[in-house]
Amino acid sequence: MLRKKSLSRAARALAIACFVASAVAAADFSGAAALEYTRKAVAFGPRPPGSEANRKLQGYIEAQLKPLHCQISFDAFTAQTPAGSVPMRNIIAKFPGSSGRAIVVTGHFDTKPMPGRVFVGANDGGSSTGFLLELAQVLNATSHPDDIYLVFFDGEEAFGEWSDTNGTFGSRFLADTWAREGMLGRIKALINVDMIGDKDLGILQETMSSAPLRRLVWQTATDLGYGKYFLNFAQATEDDHLPFLKKGVNALDLIDFDFGPNNEYWHTEKDTMDKLSEHSCEVVGNVLVAVLRNV
């Protein structure tokens, strides 16, 4: 009897160990999966705000999030752009915690409007979308004390030349919404990812970003053996973190802004899937998953 009981105890312990191991395995960030999501997003073709392809991609993002344990909301607005009024919509997935505080990871899904050219933005718009969709899978399988928000921004790109009022349409709108709602004070950290799929990965130190948050990310990368991908090179770069930074949020931009020789793939028809790698997505994914635990 005693023997039978201890056997069943052993079996239960083994079952629990297997369950824990599988939960941990399920929580690993897969660069291959992130790249596959990216490929699906890019297959919609050029995805400028207001386009049919942009709407179809929104449907795809929503369909991937729907089966997960997250609350999906939409932040729709009409942006005044140099090309006129354009409907835009951010997609927000909240993975609830219990601490009352929040961590936000953001990226954009739109591609730069380039009339007459086929700009598919595999890295610029595609990789951030694929990255966030894979991060959603990881968060779905992991417990976390803080609310974690994943935000898919529309309208990051400028219609023509970038300026304070042309570009970051979605992030400016959400920063205003969250300010009104009293959400900004709950945010421990906001990290934006952009162009992180580049095969030749090199993330610059964005100088307007929060220095302590940047140090945490760089230290985490070094600890994981990924130091060489997180450069010593520092440069101010405007992106979707900026509207939040301007409102006092602890925010950081992770961007590889050296895409191809002399950045020649950036905003050109050369920004295609063959310039990306699973490994680059996985490096940034593993670093961010570790940072989310320690921020």
Task: Using CB under 6 A, list all residues that contact ligand 1BN.
Answer: 124, 157, 162, 194-195, 237-239
Report in angstroms how near the CB of residue 109 gets to Zn ion at its nearest. Answer: 12
Tell me which of Zn ion, ligand 1BN, none is bound by residue 233, counting a contact when its beta carbon lies within the kind-specific cut-off of 5 to 8 angstroms: none
Report in angstroms how near the CB of residue 175 gets to ligand 1BN at its nearest. Answer: 16
Report in angstroms how near the CB of residue 231 gets to ligand 1BN at its nearest. Answer: 16
Q: Which helix (H) or strand (E) holds 85?
A: strand 84-95
Report in angstroms how near the CB of residue 124 gets to ligand 1BN at its nearest. Answer: 5
> Cβ(295)–Cβ(249) under 8 Å?
no
Tell me which of ligand 1BN, Zn ion, none is bound by residue 51, counting a contact when its beta carbon lies within the kind-specific cut-off of 5 to 8 angstroms: none
- The rounded distance, in Å, linking the Cα atoms of 132 and 11 is 38
- The rounded distance, in Å, linking the Cα atoms of 134 and 38 is 10
Tell me the residue nearest to Zn ion as measured from the CB: 124
Collect all residues with Cβ–Cβ distance below 8 Å to 238 and sequence separation of at least 6.
162, 167, 168
Residue 96 dihedral angles phi and psi, to the nearest 5°: -70, 140
Give the bridge partners for 147, in sequence order: 102
Instruction: Assess 271 for contact with Zn ion (CB under 5 A).
Output: no
> Cβ(205)–Cβ(218) under 8 Å?
yes
User: Which tokens is 257 given?
Assistant: 């802004």
Q: Which is nearer to ligand 1BN, 62 or 238 (CB)?
A: 238
Q: Which is nearer to ligand 1BN, 71 or 235 (CB)?
A: 235
Report in angstroms how near the CB of residue 240 gets to ligand 1BN at its nearest. Answer: 8
- The rounded distance, in Å, linking the Cα atoms of 95 and 238 is 28
Q: Which is nearer to ligand 1BN, 195 or 217 (CB)?
A: 195
Tell me how far CA of residue 3 lies from CA of 6, 8, 10, 47, 154, in angstroms.
5, 9, 10, 65, 62
Report in angstroms how near the CB of residue 113 gets to Zn ion at its nearest. Answer: 11
Contact with Zn ion (CB under 5 A) among 110, 124, 134, 239: 124
Q: Which is nearer to ligand 1BN, 195 or 287 (CB)?
A: 195
Tell me which of Zn ion, ligand 1BN, none is bound by residue 92, counting a contact when its beta carbon lies within the kind-specific cut-off of 5 to 8 angstroms: none
Residue whose entry in the numeric block shows the structure tokens 């219990």: 98
Q: Which is nearer to ligand 1BN, 183 or 273 (CB)?
A: 273
If 0-12 CB within 10 Å is exposed, 13-18 middle and 19+ buried, where does residue 225 land? exposed
Residues that bind Zn ion (CB under 5 A): 124
